[in-house]
Amino acid sequence: MDGYMPAPATERRPFSEKKFGEETLAIWEKTALPEDAVVTHVTLLPYRGERAVLSWSDGRLGLPDGEVAKGETVDAAVKRIALEQAGILDPTATWLGHFRCRATIYSVEPPPGTITYRALYGVDVAGLADFPSGEGFERRIVMQRDLLVVIRERYNTYAREYTEALDRFILDRAKRGAQ
């Protein structure tokens, strides 16, 4: 057909609402964390040079991640989790994005309507301990393609958000290295 043009694709939101169990609904955000943000969970994308430093537990590779303890700062939680799960010493964390979480009516703790945050950090690894300090953890240093497989397979619900954040982090690291 002469002059035929397909209808323009409808725009859609790049990311959708996610569920963390029945108790929490979350939206991915790339705006800065609010000053009074209650960060309850951190996930790390650690890099040493050109390779990712991952945790190995229960026969599976994973990103170091975990809950922020009551009274613990986010920086302290990042350092603790990095050391416990991957044996990372002196991590330098860069915030990459977060899930803004709202407790649903099914939530007992925190009360329904409470807003908390689950943050993703890129981590530059300065040094490594002999072993992770957490029981049941080992460390694996892998190439980026292996990290991407882990993200797609183990974190498939958040793969789009995590890979976009990872791309930005790697580009920023490359720019810093070129300076």
**pLDDT one-digit tens code per residue, 111-129:** 999 999 999 999 999 999 9
Residue 161 has pLDDT above 80, yes or no: yes
pLDDT over 60 at 8, yes or no: no
Residue 31 is predicted with a pLDDT of 94
CATH of the domain at 122: 3.90.79.10
Residue 3 placed within a domain: no
Query: Domain count of the chain?
Result: 1
Q: How many whole angstroms separate alpha carbon 20 and alpha carbon 18?
A: 7
Phi and psi of 112, rounded to 5°?
-55, 140
In a domain, 1, yes or no: no
What pLDDT, on the 0 to 100 scale, is given for residue 177? 78
Residue 14 pLDDT grade (very low, low, confident, very high; cuts 50, 70, 90) = low
Look at residue 6 and tell me whether its pLDDT is greater than 60: no
pLDDT tens digit sequence for 48-91: 999 999 999 999 999 999 999 999 999 999 999 999 999 999 99
Report if residue 110 sits inside a domain. yes
Evaluate whether residue 11 is within a structural domain. Answer: no
Residue 55 forms part of a structural domain: yes
pLDDT at 3: 52
Note the pTM of the prediction, 2 decimals.
0.89
| 54 falls within a domain | yes
